[in-house]
Amino acid sequence: MSNFKFIKTELDGMFIIEPTVFEDDRGYFFETYRYDEFKKGGIDVKFVQDNQSKSKKGVLRGLHFQTKKPQGKLVRVISGKVFDVGVDLRADRVTFGKWVGAVLSAKNKRQLYIPAGFAHGFLVLSDNAEFVYKCTDFYDPENESGIIYNDPDININWPINNDMKISLSLKDLKLPSFKEIF
């Protein structure tokens, strides 16, 4: 029996992953990653770098990708809640320019695997969120790129409500549109 449920999304290679959580009155335990089970589930990659960030409500990071050294990412939230998005940038696919989003939280313990060749971004929905992710290639600032979060051609349905003030970095505010890159 696997300790993970791999849920295929509409985008080939992108999965929502639900771990089996062992819980009792003392707390809980679950595996966050196990190579052999991920391989059986359809994710046969090598991770080389782990990252962690903390952000406040309304912070929107992305949509980021690397041009020459694309990164696959296994993402999860260890405190709080985010809306996480992957956008297929593989020009040879029928899903080119399409996106999938999922709510990830410390409570639901879901993870999202976003393959290499995708853009990635997330919006913090809780007061604060700590976000951790594994990468299949090293961060390379010379090859970093991105697409503006509100691109009309991609048309992501971000769950932005009236009491939420969106906060973007200066770099993310200046990102080009999908059509300007592709």
Q: Are 84 and 122 in contact (CB under 8 A)?
A: yes
Is the pLDDT at 103 greater than 90? The verdict is yes
Is the pLDDT at 174 greater than 80? The verdict is yes
Which amino acid makes up residue 32? T
In CATH terms, the fold of domain 48-107+114-181 is: Jelly Rolls (2.60.120)
Is the pLDDT at 57 greater than 80? The verdict is yes
Q: Are 172 and 61 in contact (CB under 8 A)?
A: yes
Residue-level pLDDT at 163: 86
What are the tens digits of pLDDT across the range 125-134?
A: 999 999 999 9
Q: Are 112 and 86 in contact (CB under 8 A)?
A: yes
| Region 44-73 average pLDDT | 97
Residues 6+ apart with CB under 8 A from 174: none
Report residue 66's pLDDT band, with 50, 70 and 90 as the boundaries: very high
Bridge partner residues of 53 (DSSP): 131
Residue 166 DSSP symbol: P
DSSP letters for 92-161? TSTTTT-EEEEEEETTT--EEEE-TTEEEEEEE-SSEEEEEEEESS---GGGEEE--TT-TTT-------
Residues 6+ apart with CB under 8 A from 148: 63, 172, 175, 176, 177
The kind and range of the H/E element at 61 are strand 60-66
What are the tens digits of pLDDT across the range 105-129?
A: 999 999 999 999 999 999 999 999 9
Distance in angstroms (rounded) separating the CA atoms of residues 171 and 78: 26
User: Which among 35, 133, 139, 149 is annotated as catalytic?
Assistant: 133
Residue-level pLDDT at 150: 97
CA atoms within 13 A on the CB side of 105: 8
Residue-level pLDDT at 2: 82
Write down the domain spans for the chain.
48-107+114-181
- Whether 133 is catalytic is yes
What are the tens digits of pLDDT across the range 77-93?
A: 999 999 999 999 999 99
- Whether 113 is catalytic is no
What are the tens digits of pLDDT across the range 153-165?
A: 999 999 998 889 9
User: Which among 28, 33, 35, 64 is annotated as catalytic?
Assistant: 64
Q: pTM here?
A: 0.96
